[in-house]
Amino acid sequence: MADTYQEIIFWVIAVVMVVAAFRVVTTRNVVHAALYLVATLLGVAGMYILLLAEFLAWAQVLVYVGAIVVLMLFGLMLTRAPIGSRDYDNDQRLPAAIVAGVLFAVMSWILIDAFEGMKVDLADPELARRGIPTEAVGDSIFSNYVLPFEAVSVLLLAALIGAVLMARKDEAPPPTQAEREA
């Protein structure tokens, strides 16, 4: 029974996500695209909860919905994209659709073929008891994967400084010695 609930919830979230994702890449209004992305990202968070990854789900909500989408909206407004007034697509829509369709067909065929028998069963008491607690994720980050973790920290710092440096408006040149003394 639990399995069917899981499947019902999966299909509801999956349909919402896919429709919203289609709207992200097809809508004519850039702000709507960002807001549809929010629906897709929340759906991904729902998928994480379905897969018993609750910490990751909240990280997803905080980082993606809370920070990245807001950053995107800032970007849209700072670049003063003319909202809804013109087409945002280039003239490669048909080839792009063909490439995406072929990619989806090949990937889903390979994935279904390779992982046919594998199941994730929430009704299984063993999985529900064992799960993957946040504790295990933290242990894993700070024992086996501490080096990539540090690398990510340094990367984030570099990205932060780089973004500030690049997006900053050029100021007037610093005053010369003579001006300062005057």
Partner 1 sequence: MPISFFLVLSALLFSIGVYGVLARANAVLILLSIELMLNAVNINLVAFSAVMGSAVGQVFALFVIAIAAAEVGIGLAIVILIFRNRQTVDVEDMSLLKW
Scan residues 152-181 and list those touching partner 1 (CB under 8 A). 152, 155-156, 158-160, 162-164, 166-167
CB of 182 to partner 1, least distance (A): 32
Buried b vs exposed e over 13-28: b needs ≥16 C-beta within 10 Å? beeebeebbebbeebe
Q: Which is nearer to partner 1, 166 or 178 (CB)?
A: 166
* Cα–Cα distance for residue pair 179/126, rounded to 1 Å: 76
Q: Which is nearer to partner 1, 127 or 175 (CB)?
A: 127
The first and second tokens of residue 32, run together, are 């709507």
- For partner 1, what does the binding mask look like between residues 90 and 109, x meaning CB under 8 A? x-xx-xxx-xxx-xx--xx-
* Cα–Cα distance for residue pair 139/176, rounded to 1 Å: 55
CB of 125 to partner 1, least distance (A): 14
Phi-psi region of 81 (alpha: psi -120 to 50; beta: other; left: phi over 0): beta
- Report the residue from 1, 112, 147, 178 that binds partner 1 according to the rule CB under 8 A: 112
- For partner 1, what does the binding mask look like between residues 62 and 81, x meaning CB under 8 A? -xx--xx--xx-xxx-xxxx
> What single-letter amino acid sits at 60?
Q
Q: What are phi and psi of 147, to 5 degrees?
A: -70, -50
Q: Which is nearer to partner 1, 99 or 175 (CB)?
A: 99
- 10-14 long-range contacts (CB < 8 A, ≥24 apart) are 10/47, 10/50, 13/43, 13/46, 13/47, 13/50, 14/43, 14/47
- Report the residue from 12, 145, 150, 175 that binds partner 1 according to the rule CB under 8 A: 145
Q: Which is nearer to partner 1, 121 or 175 (CB)?
A: 121
Tell me 170's DSSP state. Answer: P
How many residues bind to partner 1 according to rule CB under 8 A? Answer: 87
The first and second tokens of residue 37, run together, are 């992305």
The first and second tokens of residue 85, run together, are 């007034």
Q: Is 83 in the site for partner 1 (CB under 8 A)?
A: no
Scan residues 19-48 and list those touching partner 1 (CB under 8 A). 21-22, 24-25, 30, 33-34, 37, 40-41, 44, 47-48
Q: Is 10 in the site for partner 1 (CB under 8 A)?
A: yes
